Structure 1
Amino acid sequence: MSLLHPYFIIAITYMLFFSVQEVFGNKVDKKWFWFLGIYLIILAGLRNNVGPDYGSYKSLYLYSDTKEYINIFLKALHLEGSENVDLEWLYALINKVLLNVFNAPFYILTFVIAIFAIYFKVEYTDDNTFYPFTFTLFMFIPNFFIGESGQIRQNLGTFIVYFSLRFIKERKLLLYLFWMFIATGIHNVCYIFLPMYWLVRVPLNKMTMLVLIIASVFASPFEVYRVFGDFLTNISTDSMLVEGFNGYMDESSQRLNGGFGIPEAMLMIVTFFLFVFDDKMVEKYPYYEYHRVYVVLGICLYFIFRNNPIFSSRLAGAFIGFSYIIVINAMYVVSSNTKKLIYTFIIALVFFNFVVFASFKNIIGGRFTVDLYKNHILP
């Protein structure tokens, strides 16, 4: 077992302290959540050669400067330019401006991306749960290391999508489409969220959810996603980043051919909360029905794409990020004793993830250990 750097343990301790306050005391002022956000920006944004994808993203940074501005803007309009831009237009533009105009070192890019990602993360979390510290703590391992400190493009793109949920709630289509345009300019995977403005209003009941999930489980071995051809491949796979992404993964042939692992266990937990607390959530939690659609789609997509570790992690994973919020929000609709049980279970899962992350190669491959993690400003 390897030990996480104390900087991360400080963040976990801070979240745990305020998590207890918000669950069993009064609502915690948002400024304390922003203090956490600023600290996480420093940890992720100013890391020095940390994360399996660090070298790949550094190569993309230099690659972006070889493209002309006109071709980047044509890419945004889905038009062909004089040269092919093999990168999403907005991410390429951010890279090129930082390098071409400011001659900024690479860590300035990771810092800028971290600022945007954490901003949208804070706003989304504050909008959609009464327990923002608990949700952030629950998602911290491994999401912070895979997202803000790893796959920074998909992480930023999906949190822009998550943030734009507020415009679905407000039924502001033009604003939603604007932010979807921005999100897809960061990562192509965000295109799969475009229909959500309409799909969230599709009525679901327990029987419908059960049929959809069971059908997806039975469809899993048949790899039905192959009927979409190259479309899904184009929005989920980046050859320059696959090696870095695999630094987080510990897939075995048994796991990919029907075995049972941590992802399946987590989805069982989400499914349990989805069905057991559905009625109370519909009655008491605002806009739960919208979250429920994201959750069901996430579960179904995971099993449909299960035989492909990239698809199941990137395409389904983008939806599954929404799913876990119902575990946290369930505490709002239950009795005091049940809330204590759920909270105990959540904290137990946090420590379980801590031990698992420390036990696998992830922590060393990502250079997050006490002896490997480096930061440009922190000692």
Structure 2
Amino acid sequence: MSLLHPYFIIAMIYMLIFSCLEVFNGKVEKKWLWILAIYLIIIAGLRNNVGPDYGSYKGIYIYSDAKDYISILMSAIGREGPQPVELEWLYVLINKILLNIFGAPFYMLTLVIAILAVFFKVEYVDDNTFYPFTFMLLMFIPGFFIGESGQIRQNLGSFIVYFGIRYIKERKFWAYLLCIYLAGGIHNVCYIFLPMYWLVKIPLNKYVMLFLIIVSVFLSPFEIYRSFGGFLNSVAADNTLSIGFNGYLDESVERINGAVGIPEIMMAILTFFLFVFDDKMKARFPYYEYHSIYVVIGICFYFIFRNNPIFSSRLAGAFIGFAYIIIPNSMYVVSARTKGLIYSFIIALVVFNFIVFSAFNNIKAGRFTIDLYQNYILP
């Protein structure tokens, strides 16, 4: 087992303290969330050669400067310019401006992306849960290391989309469409969220949800996603970064021939919360029906794409990142005793994720250990 750098442990202790306060004493002022945000921006945005994808993104940074502005802007409107732009236009444009105009070193890019991602993350959790610190603590491992410190493109794009959920609630289509457009300009997997503007209005009862999940589990071995190969490959075809992402994984825990692993256990946990607290959540939690749609799609996508590690992480993961919010939210609709049990389970899950992340050598693979992590301003 490897030792996580104290900078990350400090963040976890901070989140744990305020998590206890918000769960048992009531909502905490947002300023404490912004203090956490600034700290997370520093340890993610100013990291030095940390994260399995660090080298790949550095290569993209140099690549982006070779593209002219006309080609990038033509790509933004779906047209082909003088030069091919193989990556999403907005991400290339951000890289281009930082390097071409400001001559900024690479760590300025990771800083800018971290600022944007954490800003949208804070706004999203503040909008969608009464327990933002608890949710962020629950998702910190492995979310922060795979997201803000790893797959920074999909992470930023996803949180722009999650932020845009406020416009679904307000039924502001053009504002939501703008979020999808900008998020898709960072990572094209975000375009799959466009139908959510209408899908959230479809009522789901327990029988419909159970039917959809069972059908998805049944379809899992048949790999029906191959029928949509061209479209899906264009969404998830970032092979260089996928290699980096796999640095977080331990080959000894690969699931083959239908074996059950940690992802399946997490899907079971989500399904449990989805069904056990469904009635109470519908009655008491604002816009829970919208949340449940994301959960069901995430679970179904996971099983449909289960045999493809890229699709199951990129396509399903985009929805699963939102789905976990129903776990802390369930504490809002139950008795004090049940709230305590759920909170104990969440903390146990955090500890479990910490141990798994350490035991599978993921901390070393990403250079997050006490001896490998480096930061440009922190000692």
Q: TM-score, normalised by structure 1?
A: 0.99
Amino acid at match of 2:268: M
CA distance in 2, matches of 1:157, 1:137: 21
Which residue of structure 2 aligns with residue 62 of structure 1?
Answer: 62
In the alignment, which residue of structure 2 is the partner of 1:279? 279
Could you tell me which residue of structure 1 aligns to residue 160 of structure 2?
Answer: 160
Residue 268 of structure 2 corresponds to residue 268 of structure 1: yes
Q: Does 1:102 align with 2:98?
A: no
Q: 1:359 to 1:113 in 2, by over 3 A?
A: same
Contact (CA 8 Å) 1:135, 1:328: kept in 2 or not?
yes
Q: Secondary structure at the match of 2:67?
A: coil
Separation in 2, partners of 1:328, 1:214 = 25
Which amino acid in structure 2 is aligned with residue 208 of structure 1?
V
Structure 1 residue 253, shift from structure 2 partner: 8.4
CA distance in 1, matches of 2:352, 2:140: 12
Partner of 2:239: 239
Q: Trace 1:47-58 onto structure 2 (pairs within 5 A).
A: 47-58=47-58
User: How far has the Cα of 1:239 moved from its partner?
Assistant: 2.2
Deviations 1:10-42 (A, max 9, x none): 000000000000000021100000000000000
Q: Give the match for residue 39 of structure 2.
A: 39
Deviation at 1:171, TM superposition (A): 0.1
Change (3 A) 1:61 1:68: same
What residue in structure 2 maps to residue 366 of structure 1? 366
Q: Distance in 2 between matches of 1:285 and 1:236?
A: 34
Q: Are 1:75 and 2:79 counterparts?
A: no
Query: In structure 1, what is the equivalent of residue 91 of structure 2?
Result: 91
Counterpart residue identity of residue 212, structure 2: L
1:29 alignment partner in structure 2: 29
Q: Equivalents in 2 of 1:247, 1:26: separation in Å?
A: 40
Q: CA deviation at 1:257?
A: 2.6
2:303 aligned with 1:314, yes or no?
A: no
Q: Which amino acid aligns with 2:213?
A: I
Q: Distance between the aligned counterparts of 1:169 and 1:226, measured in 2?
A: 34
Output one character per residue of 1:109-151: Cα deviation in whole Å (capped at 9) or x when no partner.
0000000000000000000000000000000000000000000
| Counterpart amino acid of residue 86 in structure 1 | E
State the shift of 1:176 in Å: 0.3
> How far apart in 1 are the matches of 2:38 and 2:253?
40
Distance 2:19 2:130 in 1: 11
Letter of the structure 2 residue corresponding to residue 77 of structure 1? I
| 8 Å Cα contact 1:256/1:306 also seen in 2 | no
Deviations 1:211-258 (A, max 9, x none): 000000000000001111211011112122122111012356860431
Residue-by-residue CA offset, 1:269-295 (whole Å, 9 max, x unaligned): 010000000000000000000000000
2:128 and 2:257 mapped to 1: Cα distance? Answer: 36
Could you give the per-residue CA deviations for residues 322-363 of structure 1, whole angstroms, max 9, x where no partner exists?
Answer: 110000100000000000000000000000101111111211
In the aligned structure 2, how far is the partner of 1:251 from the partner of 1:313? 16
- Cα distance in 2 between the residues matched to 1:359 and 1:254: 15
Residues 15 and 136 of structure 2 are in contact (CA less than 8 Å); yes or no, is this contact kept in structure 1?
yes
Number of matched residues? Answer: 379
CA distance in 1, matches of 2:352, 2:254: 22
Query: Residues of 1 paired with 2:29 and 2:49: CA distance?
Result: 34
> 1:257, 1:307 within 8 Å by CA — same for their partners in 2?
no
Q: Any gaps of 5 or more consecutive residues in structure 1?
A: none
Q: Could you tell me how far apart the structure 1 residues matched to 2:176 and 2:309 are?
A: 30
The one-letter amino acid of 1:211's match is F
Question: What is the alpha-carbon distance in structure 2 between the residues aligned to residue 298 and residue 213 of structure 1?
Answer: 10
Determine if the alignment matches structure 1 residue 248 to structure 2 residue 248. Answer: yes
CA contact (8 A) 2:285 2:332 kept: yes
Task: Tell me the SS of whatever aligns to 1:247.
Answer: helix
- Aligned letter for 1:24? F
For the residues of structure 1 that align with 2:85 and 2:239, how far apart are their CA atoms? 14
Q: Which moved more, 1:352-361 or 1:302-311?
A: 352-361
Amino acid at match of 1:247: G
CA distance in 1, matches of 2:254, 2:96: 43
Residue type of the alignment partner of 2:270:
V
Aligned-partner residue type, residue 244 of structure 2: G
Q: Secondary structure at the match of 1:307?
A: coil
Compute the TM-score of the two structures, normalised by the length of structure 2: 0.99
2:348 alignment counterpart: 348
Alpha-carbon distance in structure 1 between the residues aligned to 2:210 and 2:164:
28
- Give SS of 1:374's match: coil
CA distance in 2, matches of 1:196, 1:212: 17
Q: Residues 159-198 of structure 1: matches in 2 within 5 Å?
A: 159-198=159-198
CA distance in 2, matches of 1:227, 1:351: 40
User: Does structure 1 retain, via aligned residues, the 8 Å contact 2:249–2:360?
Assistant: no
Instruction: Assess, with a 3 A threshold, how the Cα gap between structure 1 residues 252 and 224 changes in structure 2: closer, same or farther.
Output: farther
In the aligned structure 2, how far is the partner of 1:67 from the partner of 1:267?
42
Q: Provide, for residues 153-199 of structure 1, a one-character-per-residue CA deviation record: whole Å limited to 9, x for no partner.
A: 00000000000000000000000001110000000100110100000
- Rounded Cα–Cα distance in structure 1 between residues aligned with 2:312 and 2:69: 34
Q: Which amino acid aligns with 2:81?
A: G
Deviation at 1:81, TM superposition (A): 1.2
The CA distance in 2 between the partners of 1:318 and 1:162, in whole Å, is: 10
1:323 aligns with 2:323: yes
Q: Cα deviation per residue 1:257-314 (whole Å; 9 max; x = unaligned)?
A: 3111111111100100000000000000000000000000000000000000010001
Is 2:223 aligned against 1:223? yes
Question: Which residue number in structure 1 is paired with residue 9 of structure 2?
Answer: 9
What is aligned with 2:126?
A: 126
Give the distance between the partners of 2:4 and 2:55, measured in 1 at CA: 21
Verify: 1:288 aligned to 2:288, yes or no.
yes
- Structure 2 residue matching 1:167: 3-state secondary structure: helix
**Counterpart residue identity of residue 373, structure 1:** Y
Inter-partner Cα distance in structure 2 for 1:371 and 1:255: 31
